[in-house]
Amino acid sequence: MKDGCCAEASEMRSKSKTGNMNMATMYTTMESPVGRLLLAGDERALRRVNFADAGRSAGVQVGWVENAGAFAEVIRQLKAYFRGELQNFDLPLEMEGTEFQLRVWSALRKIPYGQTISYRELAERIGNVKAVRAVGLANGCNPIPIIVPCHRVIGSDGSLTGFGGGLENKRKLLDLECKEFRLL
């Protein structure tokens, strides 16, 4: 299922940016505290994390090859994150989107673990305070949630708003991160 603005960003192609048509998209799934996650990428980078049980999430595409071994490091880091042992991911990522989306996603990666910001503040950080709604749409199209922490963006009144994995999972991720700070 595709969501309007995310249609281009959500399609995984077996063709890389360098034009190599032979680079296969691989995938696997893993269980997590926020449900089953679908991981997809190629031999160079992780390209997608989907909440496999969320209704709006794209599933496995025709031509993808299941290969759990290719995601061993991604799974290791995600498990460490969920145990509260990892705050910053160190993985090769390849995100496809518009120039604006890429700027928003880059800014997301700079939000510190355990902290939240508003959509307005995110718009300010990318230098376009009037783009609050566009920032929200780009945030919602993030192809690599959790690792690129779109869950750390909340409403200006502190409310939880929109999250592809569901608001319950957004709360779980924020609680996980805040719990770590309460223990220090």
Per-residue model confidence as pLDDT tens digits over 147-156: 999 999 998 8
Q: Check pLDDT > 90 for residue 172.
A: yes
Q: d(Cα 141, Cα 29) in Å, to the nearest integer?
A: 20
- Helices 99-108 and 132-140 pack at an angle, to 10 degrees, of 80
Positions marked catalytic: 150
Residue 126 in this model has a pLDDT that exceeds 90 = yes
Model pLDDT, residue 157: 85
Q: Radius of gyration (Cα) for the chain, nearest Å?
A: 16
What is the value of pTM for the model shown? 0.83
pLDDT grade, residue 55 (50/70/90)? low
